[in-house]
Amino acid sequence: MSTFKTLDDLEADQRVLVRLDLNSPVEDGEVQDNRRFERHAETVSELAEAGHRVVLMAHQGRPGGDDFVSLEQHASILADHVGHDVGFVADTFGDDAIDAIESLSAGNILLLENTRMCDDELPEEDPEVKADTAFVQTLAPYFDAYVNDAYSAAHRSHASLVGFPLELPAYAGRVMQTEYEANSAIATREFDGQVTMVVGGTKATDVIDVMNNLGEKVDRFLLGGIAGELFLRAAGHDVGYDVGGMDLFDDQWEANHETIESLIEERGDQITLAVDLAYEDEADERAEIAVEDIDEKDRAYLDIGTDTVEAYDPVIRDSEAVFVKGALGLFEDERFSEGTVGVLRAIAETDCFSVVGGGDTSRAIEMYGMSEDDFGHVSIAGGAYIRALTGASLVGVEVLQDN
Ligand SMILES: Nc1ncnc2c1ncn2[C@@H]1O[C@H](COP(=O)(O)OP(=O)(O)O)[C@@H](O)[C@H]1O
Ligand SMILES: O=C(OP(=O)(O)O)[C@H](O)COP(=O)(O)O
């Protein structure tokens, strides 16, 4: 199955540079614990217990976003899961980082600062270009091996993901290995009955393009979240616009409206949009409005409405397989969790094969008292997992396989 080397192939007593994906929700500056910490802790524990010197890299948010913060809090959350100290240095590859790396003993763990705070990490470029950056060229000589555990970021051609495997012997971590195997197996699986995909979340750009390539595999798309509103906007409704301090819609509209319009034209019968939406009224309560009654672009919609949840429910119950990518609303706020929780409960109550992905969406399962056992596979990846479903390769996996 795996055509890359794994931790089973790693020699003893190595200085190992490990890429994790600890990208997490941040609420009022506080990093929220989630499944990514728990899953990556297994790889980190295994490496530390084997006596390697373990240096971790990860990213958080995107420059300019409210969630673009230091990894200092991540170190202590990860330490709780690993059951071992995780040191932190507020530097990516400068003198402070090198000093901290050089002072490690066998079995020690150190987390470097947010890779996206280093200019060489972004933008996406070919692996050869990334391998030639000062970031990679400076750090690589301090290590014997590179481990990529960040399956959920493996669709990004960033320095920490694709540059190091060109400079160091490279291995897949345990999360990379299990997610790759599970998602590749799902991509080749055939279903006799209806296959439904629930599309939501904030990263509409990640899903809209992929919907084009999933059209043969998926019979019905049920939309919500930011992507759902962009489709409603394309269908002529006054939603899907940035209002107040929002910056979720207009840029993604510019990048995707032509694809959305052609999807509606060519695959309109496969795509179901919300018929009502929920918002916060003057009394801070959940209120709902039918999409056809919306005539002002002045309000943020935070969930699909109750009639939409009722319309989506039988579609899910009639499906043989359901794939979920992204939440249908701001589920972290209970008032706006109805869409996401309604869909997840319908899946959990039926015996369809299901995959739930999206960095944040998998959190809703635990938050609302459901069990992972009620789902076929819960992926900590979002964009990477739906790309894998189309059979497309992920650049971060390709460079491991070539290593
Ligand atoms: N209408 C909405 N307005 C604001 N945030 C939303 C809305 N719908 C979904 N979300 C947010 O999308 C996030 C879901 O993220 P996730 O499932 O990881 O997908 P993505 O990777 O696309 O962000 C959740 O944190 C949820 O609060
Ligand atoms: O959280 C992630 O992706 P996901 O939300 O699609 O699961 C990854 O960390 C990638 O982050 P990015 O979409 O800012 O490159």
Task: Determine if residue 361 is labeled as part of a ligand binding site.
Answer: yes
Residues 279 and 164 in one domain: no
14 is in an annotated binding site: no
- Is residue 382 assigned to a domain? no
For residues 342 and 214, membership in a common domain is answered with yes
Residues 195 and 291 occupy one common structural domain: yes
Same domain for 244 and 148, yes or no, is no
Q: Which amino acids bring their CB within 6 angstroms of ligand 2?
A: 21, 23, 62, 152-153, 156, 203, 206, 358-359, 381-383
Q: Are 176 and 194 in the same domain? A: no
Range of the domain at 12: 7-180+395-402
CATH for 152: 3.40.50.1260
| Claim to verify: residue 105 and residue 209 sit in the same structural domain | no
Query: In this structure, are 144 and 253 located in the same domain?
Result: no
Distance of CA 155 from the midpoint of ligand 2 (Å): 9
Q: Whose CA is nearest to atom 4 of ligand 2?
A: 382
Rounded distance between C-alpha atoms, residue 151 and residue 174, angstroms: 10
Q: For ligand 1, say whether the CB of 240 is within 6 Å of any of its atoms.
A: no
Task: Tell me: do 71 and 167 sit in the same domain.
Answer: yes
User: Would you say 359 is a known binding-site residue?
Assistant: yes
Q: Measured in angstroms, how far is the CA atom of residue 23 from the centroid of ligand 2?
A: 7
Q: Domain for residue 381, yes or no?
A: no
Residue 280 falls inside a structural domain: yes
In a shared domain, residues 96 and 26: yes
pLDDT tens across the length of the chain (403 residues): 458 999 999 999 999 999 999 999 999 999 999 999 999 999 999 999 999 999 999 999 999 999 999 999 999 999 999 999 999 999 999 999 999 999 999 999 999 999 999 999 999 999 999 999 999 999 999 999 999 999 999 999 999 999 999 999 999 999 999 999 989 888 889 999 999 999 999 999 999 988 988 988 999 999 999 999 999 999 999 999 999 888 999 999 999 999 999 999 999 999 999 999 999 999 999 999 999 999 999 999 999 999 999 999 999 999 999 999 999 999 999 999 999 999 999 999 999 999 999 778 888 998 999 999 999 999 999 999 999 988 899 999 999 998 8
Ligand 1 pocket residue status of 225, Cβ below 6 Å: yes
| In-domain check, residue 1 | no
Ligand 1 center to residue 359 CA distance, Å? 9
Number of domains in the chain: 2
The reply to whether 131 falls in a domain is yes
Residues 176 and 193 occupy one common structural domain:
no
Pocket lining: 357 vs ligand 1, CB cutoff 6 Å: no
Residue 2 lies in a domain: no
Whether 377 maps to a domain, the answer reads no
Please tell me whether residues 145 and 106 are part of one structural domain: yes
Q: Which tens digit of pLDDT belongs to each residue from 319-353?
A: 999 999 999 999 999 999 999 999 999 999 999 99
Closest-lying ligand 2 atom to the alpha carbon of residue 358: 7
Q: Do 172 and 201 lie in a common domain?
A: no
Report if residue 172 sits inside a domain: yes
